[in-house]
């Protein structure tokens, strides 16, 4: 895709340092772009009646690539928000730990 | 199956009846189209510096949707190729069972 | 728990050929015995206050071993019950496909 | 397992506050004890030639219970070691983040 008029300016101001993934943002976007291409390729395989097992192999690859992005974001979150809260705000840190745990629970499909 | 003009001519000829997922092809394509949109939405969230945890929640949702397609294809494969081989060709059936098992191994991340 | 006087004779008679995993039964039991030992080892690590990350590494190993048993049983099921039904009883085969699919859904955590 | 003479007293002294899971230790042990029983029950089902699908259902349940313990330990680790390092030792914190990330990578099967 190409559109997505990228977040209006205002947004960046008030959360300028909120996300912990600033440094790796372009890395995440690069990976996500590749995954989008993988999904499109899988659709094409289905359209072309390609062999089930080959389609499944590609789905597993895309799924793994997606988990890699998730892992990168989790790492950003721990190094950024969680560590930050641990250092500066014990009460908020508690919330962060709980939130991280809930997210992991979903990621692990529990 | 209905549309599907895509796919260059030759291809359809020699594997016309190969895939076992003909009946659910449009369902798979519909799901994959939605997933592609989900991935695009996730890229947008990263571009807009959206909160890590919210991005992760969307990744988990896309990942689950992708597994649903995989499950549908596995079902097609079992009902189609595997059952077919079991009925008609014991030697080929052996290959199918092994192939299915290898695919499941990858899907389960072993 | 320790007893389990190993299934009374009668049981083997009436379902003698039901399970498709007869041939690999001892393999499954061997693996399960090892997993039971792994779980016991993990309990001991927790009792001994061993480092979290080391405990987690062992849990991942046990979890993977458990999935290996699941994969073996799925393979038995496909080669046994599913293929059997495909060959001999179209109506029952339908039930088998659906049942296998539901089982995979749970195994994939969907 | 066989060796591991249950941890001599001395061990508890020098790592008395090392693990972050002290408070939930009995909870983890309780869960692990139940899982050990589940595995034993699964062995019994295989011994008794119980239906594949039923055995698989129990394996999925045990596997999920094991992931619950993993999740609890990850939470302990973040609240304990990671947060501790974030507060007191930036250099060690880096190591902790990397270690946690590697552990999650294995847990997510990447």
Minimal Cβ distance to B77: which of A11, A50, A53 = A53
Across the interface, whether the CB atoms of A66 and B63 are under 8 A apart is answered: yes
Q: How far apart are CA B67 and CA B62, in angstroms?
A: 9
pLDDT of residue B83: 87
What secondary structure, in 3-state letters, does chain D show?
CCCCCCCCHHHHHHCCCCCCCHHHHHHHHHHHHHHHHHHHHHHHHHHCCCCHHHHHHHHHHHHHHHHHHHHHHHHHHHHHHHHHHHHHCHHHHHHHHHHHHHHHHHHCCC
User: If you average pLDDT over each of A22-26, C18-22, C29-33, D11-15, which comes out highest?
Assistant: C29-33
pLDDT of residue B46: 96
Give how far D3 is from chain C: nearest CA, Å.
Answer: 10
SS3 for B3?
A: coil
pLDDT of residue B6: 43
8 Å CB contact between B94 and C78: no
Which is nearest to D74 in space by CA: D44, D47, D102? D102
Mean pLDDT of A57-78: 93
What single DSSP character describes residue A81?
A: I
pLDDT of residue D47: 96
pLDDT of residue D19: 57
pLDDT of residue B26: 94
Give how far B74 is from chain D: nearest CA, Å.
Answer: 17
pLDDT of residue A19: 57
pLDDT of residue D3: 42
Q: How far apart are CA D25 and CA D17, in angstroms?
A: 13
Which residues on chain B are in Cβ contact (under 8 Å) with D110? 109
Which residues on chain C are in Cβ contact (under 8 Å) with A110? 109
pLDDT of residue B7: 39
Q: Is the pLDDT of residue C38 over 70?
A: yes
Which is nearest to D49 in space by CA: C68, C66, C9? C9
Mean pLDDT of A52-77: 93
Give the angle B91-C29-C85 at the CA atoms, nearest 5°: 35
Give how far B85 is from chain A: nearest CA, Å.
Answer: 15
Mean pLDDT of C81-98: 89
- Mean pLDDT over the full length of chain B: 82
Contacts of D53 (CB under 8 A, 6+ apart): C77, C99, C100, C103
Confidence of residue C21 (pLDDT cuts 50, 70, 90): low
Q: What is the pLDDT of residues A29-55, one digit of tens each?
A: 999 999 999 999 999 999 999 999 999
Which residues on chain C are in Cβ contact (under 8 Å) with D63? 63, 66-67, 70
Confidence of residue B12 (pLDDT cuts 50, 70, 90): very low
Mutation to test the B interface, candidates C20, C72, C75, C90, most B Cβ within 10 Å? C75
pLDDT of residue D8: 40
Q: How far apart are CA C59 and CA D76, in angstroms?
A: 15
Across the interface, whether the CB atoms of A75 and D68 are under 8 A apart is answered: no
Confidence of residue C22 (pLDDT cuts 50, 70, 90): low
- Mean pLDDT over the full length of chain C: 82
Mean pLDDT of A60-70: 94
pLDDT of residue D20: 60
pLDDT of residue A83: 87
Q: Is the pLDDT of residue C105 over 60?
A: yes
Subunits in contact with chain D (3 or more CB pairs closer than 8 Å) = A, B, C
Give the rounded percent of residues in chain B with a pLDDT score beyond 70. 78
- Residue position matching structure tokens 């062992």: C58
Count Cβ neighbours within 10 Å for each residue of D59-69 and write b for 16 or more, e otherwise.
bbebbbebbbb
Contacts of B35 (CB under 8 A, 6+ apart): A39, B62, B65, B66, B69
User: If you average pLDDT over each of A7-16, B44-53, C22-31, which comes out highest?
Assistant: B44-53
Of A52-61, A69-78, B15-24, D60-69, the one with minimum mean pLDDT is B15-24
Give the rounded percent of residues in chain A with a pLDDT score beyond 70. 79
What tokens were used for C67? Answer: 């999935």
8 Å CB contact between A82 and A96: yes
Across the interface, whether the CB atoms of B32 and A50 are under 8 A apart is answered: no
Q: What is the pLDDT of residues D24-81, one digit of tens each?
A: 899 999 999 999 999 999 999 999 999 999 999 999 999 999 999 999 999 998 988 8
Residue of chain A whose Cα is closest to the Cα of B7? A48
Q: What is the pLDDT of residues B58-108, one digit of tens each?
A: 999 999 999 999 999 999 989 888 888 888 988 888 999 999 999 988 887
Q: Is the dihedral of CA C1, C3, C6, C8 positive or negative?
A: negative
Q: At what angle do helices C90-107 and B52-77 cross, to 10 degrees?
A: 160
Q: Is the pLDDT of residue A105 over 60?
A: yes
Minimal Cβ distance to A107: which of B20, B44, B56 = B56
- In order of B74, C70, C91, the CA distances from C31 in angstroms are 26, 11, 35
Q: Is the dihedral of CA D51, D53, D56, D57 positive or negative?
A: negative
More confident residue, D71 or D20: D71
pLDDT of residue B9: 39
8 Å CB contact between B46 and B60: no
Give the rounded percent of residues in chain B with a pLDDT score beyond 90. 53
Across the interface, whether the CB atoms of A82 and D87 are under 8 A apart is answered: no
8 Å CB contact between A67 and D108: yes
pLDDT of residue D5: 43
Considering just the CA atoms, what is the radius of gyration of chain B in Å? 18
Minimal Cβ distance to C77: which of D48, D52, D107 = D52
Mean pLDDT of C67-82: 91
Q: How far apart are CA A70 and CA A60, in angstroms?
A: 15
What single DSSP character describes residue A22?
A: G
Q: How far apart are CA B82 and CA B95, in angstroms?
A: 9
Across the interface, whether the CB atoms of A66 and B69 are under 8 A apart is answered: no
Q: What is the pLDDT of residues C65-74, one digit of tens each?
A: 999 999 999 9
pLDDT of residue D80: 86
């Amino acid at each position: 895709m190409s559109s997505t008029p990228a977040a209006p300016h205002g947004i960046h101001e008030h959360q300028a340092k909120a996300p912990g993934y600033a440094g790796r943002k372009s890395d995440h976007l690069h990976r996500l772009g590749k995954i989008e291409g993988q999904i499109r390729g899988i659709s094409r395989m289905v359209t072309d009646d390609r062999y089930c097992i080959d389609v499944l192999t590609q789905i597993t690859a895309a799924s793994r690539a997606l988990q890699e992005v998730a892992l990168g974001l989790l790492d950003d979150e721990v190094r950024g928000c969680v560590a930050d809260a641990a250092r500066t705000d014990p009460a908020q840190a508690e919330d962060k730990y709980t939130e991280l745990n809930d997210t992991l629970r979903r990621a692990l499909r529990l």
